[in-house]
Amino acid sequence: MAKLNIVLYEPEIPANTGNIGRTCVATGTRLHLIEPLGFHLDEKSIKRAGMDYWSELDVTTYVNWDDFCEKNPGAKIYMATTKGRHVYTEVSYEPDCYIMFGKESAGIPEEILKANPDTCVRIPMIGETRSLNLSNSVAIVLYEALRQNQFDHMKLQGELHRLRWDD
């Protein structure tokens, strides 16, 4: 079973993290938060964005990048960045890989990117657009990884409540 991982490096905006948490719950994805965070995890705004799903979230926090690396040795980490050499659809996401996103104001530090050039991926944009919203970026890349893994363990068909599709 695919068990993807989303990593947020020093996220700053609680609503983004709450929305990402909700996406992780809806997809069975683990969330990893690398401190410092720009908020407290018990703030109302993060719980409001994550709604009542936050208690179901598989989330782990780390004191810094080194702590994350020590606790996840050998992890295959794709790094979403506007500086990436590859488009996010050009790589093959393993069922247990990690997809990392940087903080809203600065992204992933360039020294981390430079040490991992082959796993840096980019969402294409027009012109000089600085970046997309963090929670939107996570959803775009995560759903590509899920698609590549055949949406393993996910409900693939919806149901009408009063009618049948063939009525």
- 31 in any annotated domain: yes
- 113 in any annotated domain: yes
- Confirm or deny that 158 is annotated as ligand binding: no
Q: How many CA atoms lie within 13 A of 107 on its CB side?
A: 18
Q: Which of these ranges, 20-24, 74-78, 163-167, has the smallest mean pLDDT?
A: 163-167
Token output for 99: 């997809």
- Confirm or deny that 84 is annotated as ligand binding: no
Say which CATH number the domain at 94 has. Answer: 3.40.1280.10
Range of the domain at 39: 5-148
**Predicted structure pTM score:** 0.91
- 158 in any annotated domain: no
- 137 in any annotated domain: yes
- Confirm or deny that 38 is annotated as ligand binding: no
Token output for 31: 């969330």
What is the maximal distance between C-alpha atoms in the chain? Answer: 59
Asked whether the predicted pLDDT for residue 47 surpasses 90, the reply is: no
- 164 in any annotated domain: no
Q: What is the pLDDT of residues 92-109, one digit of tens each?
A: 999 999 999 999 999 999
- 20 in any annotated domain: yes
Q: How far apart, in whole angstroms, are the C-alpha atoms of residue 10 and residue 102?
A: 7
Backbone torsions φ then ψ of 156, nearest 5 degrees: -100, -10
Asked whether the predicted pLDDT for residue 165 surpasses 70, the reply is: no
Domain count, the chain: 1
Q: How far apart, in whole angstroms, are the C-alpha atoms of residue 73 and residue 46?
A: 29
Q: How far apart, in Å, do the first and last CA atoms of the chain sit?
A: 35
- 143 in any annotated domain: yes
- 157 in any annotated domain: no
Q: How many CA atoms lie within 13 A of 110 on its CB side?
A: 1
